[in-house]
């Protein structure tokens, strides 16, 4: 899960294969099916990332170490997915100045509404940018990170523009079934 492709970012440090720009973390391997939508998008844009399981409640020490080292390791964004009482994104945001983008993972009993509220309702002072529950949220978190990185990277901005244009053209080409005859 360590992607080493780089988008030609101006930050030369982060062009090194062992220094991905984006950390993608999640509370459990059971989150992977959803979080893969974020890494797929980063891969599509050639943005380097490393994905791994860091559980806030099962690996609190690892989480603290990850946060403390994040900036110096070259991370410039962290996408954090979690489900249920989803404290990983907020805790990670408290441990580093690297911006955290939270993805609420659908939970078994409350369908991710618990995850959403746990992530979005951060008290004032430590923000977590929070996205939609599930696959769309994971993909959009990556797109948002890409947009942020693109502000200092014209080639990446051009890729983002082309991505949106393709999406617009696809929507324009959509057709609906013919209306039923009376």
Binding-site residues for substrate, in ranges, read 28, 31, 58
Those residues with Cβ within 8 angstroms of residue 56's Cβ, 6 or more apart along the chain or in another chain = 27, 63, 82, 87, 88, 91, 92
CB of 160 to ligand RP5, least distance (A): 29
Kindly state whether residue 102 participates in binding ligand RP5, applying the rule CB under 6 A.
no
Kindly state whether residue 134 participates in binding ligand RP5, applying the rule CB under 6 A.
no
Which region holds residue 134: left if phi is over 0, alpha if psi is between -120 and 50, else beta?
left
Q: Which two tokens stand for residue 144?
A: 């948002």
Residue selected from 92, 105, 119, 133 as contacting ligand RP5 according to rule CB under 6 A: 105
Residue selected from 4, 30, 167, 168 as contacting ligand RP5 according to rule CB under 6 A: 30
Residue selected from 28, 99, 144, 148 as contacting ligand RP5 according to rule CB under 6 A: 28
Kindly state whether residue 52 participates in binding ligand RP5, applying the rule CB under 6 A.
no
Count residues binding ligand RP5 (CB under 6 A): 10
Kindly state whether residue 82 participates in binding ligand RP5, applying the rule CB under 6 A.
yes
Q: Which two tokens stand for residue 89?
A: 């994104």
Q: Which two tokens stand for residue 114?
A: 């618990």
Residue with tokens 């959009």: 140
Those residues with Cβ within 8 angstroms of residue 55's Cβ, 6 or more apart along the chain or in another chain = 27, 28, 62, 63, 88
Q: Which of residues 8-27 bind ligand RP5 (CB under 6 A)?
A: 26-27
Binding site for ligand RP5 (CB under 6 A): 26-28, 30-31, 55, 82-84, 105
């Amino acid at each position: 899960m360590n992607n080493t492709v780089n988008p030609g970012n101006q930050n030369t440090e982060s062009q090194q294969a062992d220094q991905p720009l984006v950390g993608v973390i999640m509370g459990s391997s059971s989150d992977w099916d959803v979080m893969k939508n974020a890494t797929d998008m980063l891969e599509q844009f050639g943005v380097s990332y490393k994905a791994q399981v860091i559980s806030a409640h099962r690996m609190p020490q690892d989480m603290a170490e990850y946060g403390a080292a994040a900036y110096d390791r070259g991370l410039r964004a962290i996408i954090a997915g979690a489900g249920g009482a989803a404290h990983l994104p907020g805790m990670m945001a408290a441990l580093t100045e690297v911006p955290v983008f939270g993805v609420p993972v659908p939970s078994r009993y409350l369908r991710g509404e618990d995850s959403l509220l746990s992530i979005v309702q951060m008290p004032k002072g430590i923000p977590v940018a929070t996205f939609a529950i599930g696959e769309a949220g994971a993909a959009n978190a990556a797109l948002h990170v890409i947009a942020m990185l693109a502000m200092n990277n014209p080639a990446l901005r051009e890729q983002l523009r082309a991505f949106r244009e393709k999406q617009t053209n696809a929507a324009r080409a959509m057709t609906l079934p013919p209306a039923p005859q009376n």
